[in-house]
Amino acid sequence: MIFIDAAFRKETPYTPIWMMRQAGRYLDEYKEVRAKAGSFLDLCQNVELATEVTLQPVDILDVDAAILFSDILVVPYEMGLGLEFLSGEGPKFKDTICNESDLLKLKCGASNRLEYVYDSISLIRSKLAKDKALIGFCGSPWTLATYMIEGEGSKTYTQSKKMLYTHPKLLHTLLQKITQELKAYLVSQIKAGANAVMIFDSWASALELQKYLEFSWNYMKEIARELKQQYPHIPILLFPKGVGAYLDYIDGEFDVFGVDWGTPIELAKQKLGSKYVLQGNLEPARLYNYEEMKSGVDQILAVMGNQAGHIFNLGHGMIPDLPRENAIALVQMVREKTKR
C-alpha cells in the first residue's frame, strides 16, 4: 500500500493523498445515507452504513487511504456520558466532569462496548481495494477531556483550564482514564484490520507550552509508545492542531506528524522533516477557488518535492460546502505533479 510505504518513508510512485474529514456533507451521497440513518450516532453505530460512507470518498475522489467513519466522541459516550449531536450546533454531552465523584461515575471498559467500530473496520477492510490503506483513529486524551469537562465544543476552554490550574491531579486522573481506554480501543481497531492509526489533538492550541507537554503531548506519546512496541508495522500519525510554535519540543515514537494549515510547511520540514514523515497541509478553504487551490499545492510541493517523506493532506478537515469537483481535481493534481 502506497500510503503505508510513504508513512515509513519508503519510495513510492507518487505522493499519496487523502483528506481529513473526507466523508461528510460536501458529498450528496453522504447526506443521503445520513438522512437514512437517523441520528449521527445511529450512523456511527450502523456497520453497513458506516462502511458505505467510509468508502464513498475513496470511490469518488480516488484517495489513497480510507479513514474509518466514526467520531472521536464515541469513546466518552461509551464511558457513560450521554451524547447528542444537535443539527447545526454540534455535539452536546448531557453530563460533564466537574469533580471527583463525576470521575467515579465513568464506566470502565468502554473499548469493549465499541464492537460496532471493530465490525465496521472488518467490513470496510474486506471491501476496500488491496492497495488502499484503512486508517483507524481516536481523539487525544486532552481533546476528549475538554469535551467531557465543557460538555460541548468551546472557544475558551474555561472549565478545562480552571481544572488544570486549580485541580491538576483531578485532570491527570481523568486523562489517565481516557488514555487507558484509548490504548485498548486502538489495539482493537488494529486487530480488526486498521492498517494505520491517527490521533487527533484538535484542541492542542488551547494550552501554553509547558502545560501542553504535560497535559496533552505526554499522553499522546504514551499511547504511541505502547502501540509501537506491540505493532511496529502499523504507522502512527499524530495531528496536534495549532502547535506551530512548539515544534522544537515535539518528540516521541511515532511515524507521521500532521501539519495543520497554520504552520508553514517549510518550518515543519526544517524542525521535524528528518525525524518524521510530514502530512499536510493545504488550507481547506483554498478548495473554494480552483486557482487558489492550485497555487497552494504548488507552494507545498515546492517545499516537500516529489520525494519520500510527505503525505499530501488538507491542513484540517473538509468544510461542508466545499465544491466536490475541486476535491476530485486536487487528488488528480497531486498525483500528476508528484509522479516519480
The residue of the chain with the least Cβ separation from ligand CP3 equals 202
d(CA 335, CA 340) in angstroms, rounded, equals 10
Q: Is 260 in the active site?
A: no
Q: Is 200 in the site for ligand CP3 (CB under 6 A)?
A: yes
Instruction: Give 77 or 246: the residue with its C-beta nearer to ligand CP3.
Output: 77
Q: Is 335 in the active site?
A: no
Q: Is 71 in the active site?
A: yes
| DSSP code per residue over 167-227 | -HHHHHHHHHHHHHHHHHHHHHHHHHT-SEEEEEETTGGGS-HHHHIIIIIHHHHHHHHHH
Q: Using CB under 6 A, which of 24, 76, 242, 284 touches ligand CP3?
A: 24
Per-residue binding letters, 80-99, with ligand CP3 (x by CB under 6 A): -----x----xx--------
Q: Is 46 in the site for ligand CP3 (CB under 6 A)?
A: no
- Among positions 121-160, residues that touch ligand CP3 (CB under 6 A) are 137, 153
Per-residue burial over 172-208, b if 16 or more Cβ lie within 10 Å, else e, is bebbebbbbbbbebbbbbbebbbbbbbbbbbbbbbbe
Q: Is 309 in the site for ligand CP3 (CB under 6 A)?
A: no
| DSSP code per residue over 147-164 | HHHHSB--SS-HHHHHHH
Q: Using CB under 6 A, which of 4, 23, 134, 300 touches ligand CP3?
A: 23
Q: Is 21 in the active site?
A: yes
Classified as helix, coil or strand, 42 is helix
d(CA 301, CA 89) in angstroms, rounded, equals 36
Q: Is 165 in the active site?
A: no
Q: Using CB under 6 A, which of 5, 29, 42, 71 touches ligand CP3?
A: 71
Classified as helix, coil or strand, 57 is helix
Residues in the chain: 340
Which residues are marked as active site? 21, 25, 34, 71, 147
Footprint on this chain of ligand CP3 (rule: CB under 6 A): 20-25, 34, 40, 67, 69, 71-73, 85, 90-91, 137, 153, 200, 202, 317
